[in-house]
Amino acid sequence: MNSNSQKKPALGRGLSSLLQNTNTDVTSVNESPVGSISEIALSSIETNPFNPRTNFEKEGLFDLRASIMEHGIIQPLTVRKMGNDKYQLISGERRYRASQLAGLEKVPVYIRIANDQNMLELALVENIQREDLNAIEIALSYERLLSECELTQDQLSEKISKSRSNIANYIRLLKLPAEIQLGLKNRLISMGHARALLSLSSEEDQIEMYKEIINNELSVRDIESNVRNKKSNAPSRRNTLNFDRKTKTEIISFYDSDISISSNPNGSGKLSFKFDSQEDLDRLVKLLLNK
């Protein structure tokens, strides 16, 4: 059979299926695969810089610490050999952190060989499938798999066993303003809220509606209804821009001053005057107050 026709195992079947491949095992001096679990010093392990997970709940870590102190580590960590008795985590950072809290000196591990590209894919896929990531961390993981690992959405869909629409919906979250992304990351709003906010065209409207969600504890259905009403009541952008141009000419002529006008499709905006001196400012104030 042609080797090109053999289908490569998909990462979507899970990291464990990849690690069952003895081609990734570290070999001993006599070149026999090390298939068993090893114990190594916790101090010799460094965390994985490619891990997309950045938040680890303290309460959860202390619960895991208590379990480890009572029962030990049930599922070994997976690491790669870095040389000189140094290792780097591929998966199991929660167990690693909880083991530190428990004061363990040694931990059980599977030792594997992986280059940086494989490390990134392994870490991202492992976390997407097994860890309780928030929506923004998942979105960032998807984006990194697409960009840094140079995958197409079809390839990514196959690797993680998710639909293309699921992937696209998460990646779209990264277009939201930073304030809303932070709220989503901290679970102040749900992904349903965020998707409804994405249908608003301006960041200003998105942030305004986001604050309404937080202040009034609005449901996703409430937001979807509010968004529909906002769109139906919004004035034509073309009419707004025509109004701006006509008004600007009239105001400049009357006040003899350069101005700037900015407006949004919903009709709100800002009018600014420019003045060159204190005397010029006093003149404008008198005109504005009609004195």
The pair phi, psi for residue 235, each rounded to 5°, is -70, 160
Look up 137 and say whether it is catalytic: no
Using DSSP's 3-state secondary structure scheme, residue 86 falls into: strand
What's the maximum distance between 2 C-alpha atoms anywhere in the chain?
98
Catalytic residue among 57, 59, 93, 217: 93
- What do you get for the CA distance between the two ends of the chain, in Å? 94
Q: Which amino acid is at 249?
A: T
Using DSSP's 3-state secondary structure scheme, residue 237 falls into: helix
Q: Partners of 38 in the beta sheet?
A: 109
Q: Which helix (H) or strand (E) holds 147?
A: helix 135-147
Ramachandran class of 210: left when φ > 0, alpha when ψ lies in -120 to 50, beta otherwise: alpha
The pair phi, psi for residue 124, each rounded to 5°, is -65, -45
The structure tokens listed for 57 are 């709940």
- Tell me how many degrees the CA angle 17-23-24 measures, rounded to the nearest 5: 70
Nearest-angstrom CA–CA distance, 181 and 52: 15
Q: Which amino acid is at 73?
A: I
204 CB neighbour count, 10 Å cutoff = 13
The structure tokens listed for 160 are 């993680």
Would you tell me the crossing angle of helices 135-147 and 116-130 to the nearest 10 degrees?
150
The structure tokens listed for 92 are 């199991």
Residues recognised as catalytic: 93
